Amino acid sequence: MDLDLALVRSFAITAEELHFRRAAERLFITQQGLSQRIRRLELLLGVSLFVRGNRSVALTEEGQRFLAPARRVMEAADAAVQAVQPRERRPLRVDVVDGRLAPLQLVRKLLEEDPELPLNLSMRQSLAAALPALARDEIDTAFGRVHDVQGWSAEFSHRLVRLEPLRALVPRTHPLAGRDEVRIDELRSCAIWQPRNGVPSEWEHYVGRLADSFGLSLAFSGAALSDEHFLEHLWSHGEMACLAGADVSYAFSPDIRSIPLVDPTPVYPWSMVWRRQAGHPLVDRLVGLAKRSAGDWLTHVPGEIWLPAPDRALLRGAGVDVDAVRG
């Protein structure tokens, strides 16, 4: 059986997102076009790969079995191209963690400067998941918090690119929903809930350090498979709050309030990571853009901010006022 690589790639990305609109955006095709590709692949294989409900998308048992081999097919195809293509002509392969987060905004700035720039995006959900691919030269750069991350090696370089203020997410019926801002110690009264996607990530370690520092109760539950599924989780946890970055939009639902946290404001330290040796020439352009964007991206809100103690060393090299930081 001959498999169309475009169909396999469409399946793999949709399996990562479990959301047809976001997967279509990553593939630069319409949602209808993506649905047609998945249907053609299912007809070719003779099985259903996804179960689509009103508010969620899930892999079937056959889809789960097909996913790992499909990823290996894509990795082998990419490796074959890279073996014969000069490095300077290859697309810049960037893992942006998730399409809703700050790293994709930096990549979009790069495309605004050069719309014809060749790019290949992936979203592995954490830096820990991306580092093995970076070490194997399957990607050129990745983003995340460089502390509390497994798989770190001396072969990697990194640069702080964004201090993202955190916010409290609550449903509109929550006791804090009417507030314009919430003090971090006020979360002791309602506790924190966070969804968990697979193994614990550096984000989860950050939230754990934050909870320990301020005496907050913290609970994790299963993955949120889509925006709608996340909303269901948020409602089901009653008067608990969820933490998220200020860069993430929740405009898809008027039922979610995103409230700034203050006194102090927790900030999440996004770093860009790449290999020290034999890097893609376009990595330097992305690093240069991060340096030029530092005035906006590393300027935190007035007053005190909070960072875990291990992350404070990142600030000195970025010119951030360490005296205004708690941790």
* pLDDT (tens digit per residue) in 251-288: 778 889 999 999 999 999 999 999 988 678 889 888 88
Domain span including residue 35: 1-84
Last residue of a domain, one of 265, 292, 316: 265
CATH number reported for the structural domain that contains residue 7 in this entry:
1.10.10.10
- Backbone φ and ψ for 324, nearest 5 degrees, come out as -95, 10
CA 145 to chain centre: 11
Q: What is the DSSP letter of 241?
A: B
Domain assignment of residue 9, yes or no: yes
Residue 256, domain member (yes or no): yes
In 114-180, alpha helices (H): 127-135
Q: Is residue 151 part of a domain?
A: no
Domain membership of residue 110 (yes or no) is no
Which of 249, 265, 281 corresponds to the end of one domain? 265
> Is residue 327 in some structural domain?
no
pLDDT at residue 61, rounded to an integer: 93
**Whether the Cβ atoms of residue 245 and residue 97 lie closer than 8 Å to each other:** no
In a domain, 133, yes or no: no
Phi-psi region of 107 (alpha: psi -120 to 50; beta: other; left: phi over 0): alpha
Question: What is the tally of structural domains in the chain?
Answer: 2
DSSP letter at 310 equals G
Residue 252 has a pLDDT of 76
Q: How far apart are CA 179 and CA 272, in angstroms?
A: 34
Residue that finishes a domain, picked among 34, 56, 84: 84
pLDDT given at position 307: 92
Distance, in Å, from the CA atom of 107 to the CA atom of 267, rounded to the nearest integer, reads: 21
The predicted model scores a pTM of: 0.73
Ranges of the chain whose pLDDT falls below 50: none
Radius of gyration for the alpha carbons in the chain, expressed in angstroms and rounded = 21
Q: How far apart are CA 128 and CA 200, in angstroms?
A: 9
Vertex 247: Cα angle to 246 and 251 (nearest 5): 90
Sign of CA dihedral 7, 11, 12, 14: positive
Q: What is the CATH number of the domain that holds 250?
A: 3.40.190.290
* β strands within 190-320, DSSP E: 192-195, 218-221, 242-245, 256-262, 265-275, 305-306
Q: Exposure string (b/e) for 280-290, b if CB count within 10 Å is 16 or more?
A: bebbeebbebb
Beta strands in 67-201 (DSSP E): 92-95, 119-122, 141-144, 156-171, 182-183, 192-195
> What is the reported pLDDT for 120?
87
> 148 phi and psi, to 5 degrees?
60, 35
For 318, phi then psi, to 5°, come to -100, 0
